[in-house]
Structure formats: structure tokens, C-alpha cells
A = this chain, B = another copy of it.
Amino acid sequence: MSDLTNPAETTRPAYVLDEQVGFILRLVGQRHSAIFQRLAPEGLTTTQFAAFVRLAELGECSQNELGRRTAMDVATIKGVVDRLRRKGMVTLRDDPHDKRRALLSVAPDYAHLTDDLYSVGLRISAETLEPLNRDEQRTLLRLLKKLR
């Protein structure tokens, strides 16, 4: 029994760090990230992977636009794009209609890579979710999406 002189004490849930969503999310993120790093080709990180795949979907696109479509801040997407360019996976040309912009696209040499990335991406997700059965996997994704 806890302190009965304070009625609130008996109903308020105790704070246990290991039970908080934020803490658990960080742990799950760490595990996913380790799986990702082991399976992803070209030394791609999670964000680089997301940006590259999204760019392949969209075709030509500006840097900030790509950032918005992948939920990355302007400062973050800049770093990610810089590294993809350094790897030669993404190329850039000036937008003929807007002097502020540059248009990004997947480098021709790497266009074929997208199919590989799709299959690797599915494998990474499968391995991350492996401790759950099919129903649990569907449920988890459904609930997580509500928290976006």
C-alpha cells in the first residue's frame, strides 16, 4: 500500500522510466538503426536512404521540397543531400525558371539501384518487426501511424 493520507497517491500511476513511450521509442529506434546499418548497401544511412528513394519516386525536385517530403528540416536535408552528392548518387542542375533553386535527380548510374533498395528496405522492415506475428505487425503500424 502507498500513502493513504494522500488519496491522489493511490491512483496516480508511478513513473517508471522504462515504461514511457519516449524511452521505448528510442530503444526501438536504436535496434532498427543497427539492423539498417548491417543490411543497407552503399553505406546508406536511414535518412540518406529515405531521401534517395523519395527522389527516385518524385523525379526532379528541389532540395527543400525533398526535405518536406521526407520530414527533414532544411538544415538536415542539406547535409543529407551533400553526402548523397559526394557519393555520386544524386546530381544537380540549375532550375531554368527560378534562379533560387537547383533541381536534384538520381544519378543515371544509380537509377538501377532503386529496385535493390526496395527489396533491401522490405527486408530491413521485416527483420525489425520479426519479434511480432503478422497481426501484431499490422496493429503496431496502424497505431504508430496515428502518432505521427
Using a CB–CB distance below 8 Å, which chain A residues touch chain B? 12-15, 17, 19-33, 36, 46-47, 50, 53-54, 57, 70-71, 117-119, 121-122, 124-125, 128-129, 131-132, 136, 139-141, 143-148
Residue of A14, A54, A122 with most chain B CB atoms under a 10 A cut-off:
A122
Closest B residue to A127 using CB positions: B21
B31, B129, B144: the one contacting A148 at CB < 8 Å is B31
C-alpha gap A132/B119 in the complex (Å): 32
Nearest Cβ distance between residue A74 and chain B, in whole angstroms?
Answer: 15
Whether B131 and A146, one on each chain, are in contact in the complex, defined by CB atoms closer than 8 angstroms, is: yes
Whether B22 and A118, one on each chain, are in contact in the complex, defined by CB atoms closer than 8 angstroms, is: no
Q: Binding site of A, secondary structure by majority: helix, strand, loop or mixed? A: helix
C-alpha gap A53/B15 in the complex (Å): 10
Closest B residue to A124 using CB positions: B22
Whether A147 and B15, one on each chain, are in contact in the complex, defined by CB atoms closer than 8 angstroms, is: no
A70 proximity list for chain B (CB < 8 A): 17
Residue of A22, A31, A146 with most chain B CB atoms under a 10 A cut-off:
A22
Nearest Cβ distance between residue A11 and chain B, in whole angstroms?
Answer: 12
Whether A140 and B140, one on each chain, are in contact in the complex, defined by CB atoms closer than 8 angstroms, is: yes
Assuming the contacts A13-B122, A139-B139, asked whether A147 and B28 have C-beta atoms less than 8 A apart, the reply is yes
B14, B17, B54, B147: the one contacting A31 at CB < 8 Å is B147
Nearest Cβ distance between residue A105 and chain B, in whole angstroms?
Answer: 17
A17 proximity list for chain B (CB < 8 A): 50, 53-54, 57, 70, 121
